[in-house]
Chains A and B, each alone.
Chain A
Amino acid sequence: DTAVSQTPKYLVTQMGNDKSIKCEQNLGHDTMYWYKQDSKKFLKIMFSYNNKELIINETVPNRFSPKSPDKAHLNLHINSLELGDSAVYFCASSPVATNYGYTFGSGTRLTVV
Chain B
Amino acid sequence: DQQVKQNSPSLSVQEGRISILNCDYTNSMFDYFLWYKKYPAEGPTFLISISSIKDKNEDGRFTVFLNKSAKHLSLHIVPSQPGDSAVYFCAASGRGGSNYKLTFGKGTLLTVNP
Contacts and interface: CB of A to CB of B under 8 A. Distances in A.
Among B43, B44, B106, chain A packs the most CB atoms within 10 A around the CB of B43
Contact of A104 (B43, B93, B98, B105): B43
A44 B89 CA distance: 12
B102 interface: yes
Interface in B59-114: 89, 91, 93, 98, 100-107
**Most B C-beta atoms less than 10 A away, residue of A48, A55, A90, A100:** A100
A54 to B, nearest CB: 11
B34 interface: yes
A109 B93 CA distance: 26
B93 A99 contact: yes
B98 to A, nearest CB: 5
Contacts of A102: 44, 46, 102
Interface size class of B (residues with CB under 8 A): 20 to 34
A45 B98 CA distance: 12
A99 B102 contact: yes
Binding site secondary structure of chain B: mixed
A92 B105 CA distance: 17
Interface in A12-46: 35, 40-45
A66 interface: no
A98 B34 CA distance: 13
A97 interface: yes
Contact of B100 (A35, A41, A90, A99): A99
Given A56-B98, A100-B34, A44 B104 contact: yes
Interface of B: 2, 32, 34, 41-46, 49, 89, 91, 93, 98, 100-107
Interface of A: 4, 35, 40-45, 48, 55-56, 90, 92, 97-107
